[in-house]
Amino acid sequence: MVGGTSGSGVILLSLLMAAGLEGAGVIATDAVISVVTSVIKISVFGLAGVVTAQVLAFALLIGAIAIPGAFLAKAFVERLPVHIHTAILDLAVIAGGLVMISAAVRQLV
């Protein structure tokens, strides 16, 4: 439910990288954490009666589209030197942090 926001993903990436994970290890760990949290979210929202057939169909469509992208990303990362991949992740974390800061500043103004 927070996939369209920066924040949790940026924080998670920075924590994983600070723990010493690099390259495919960062992506794989992030993916496992995302799957587990998504299953928990779906269970909670399902028990609350919020997950309708339309919501489920939309989620399955997004998942079906995302799966080939994950395999393309895996192939891309395997060919990418670790230092370049780390630099890309660093830029993503910095950009996400800037988005979070700018959103907070806009809330104050």
Question: Taking Cα atoms as reference points, which of 1, 9, 3 lies closest to residue 97?
Answer: 9
In sequence order, which residues have a C-beta less than 8 Å from that of residue 96 and are 6 or more positions away? Answer: 6, 7, 9, 10, 13
Structure tokens at 54: 């339309």
Give the model confidence (pLDDT) of 45-102 as tens digits.
Answer: 889 988 888 888 998 898 888 888 878 888 888 898 988 988 888 898 888 889 889 9
Q: Going by C-beta distance under 8 Å and a sequence separation of 6 or more, which residues neighbour residue 9?
A: 30, 96
Q: pLDDT tens digits for 18-49?
A: 898 888 888 888 888 888 888 898 889 889 98
DSSP letter assigned to residue 51: -
Q: Give the start-to-end residue ranges of the domains of the chain.
A: 8-108
- Counting every residue written for the chain, the total comes to 109
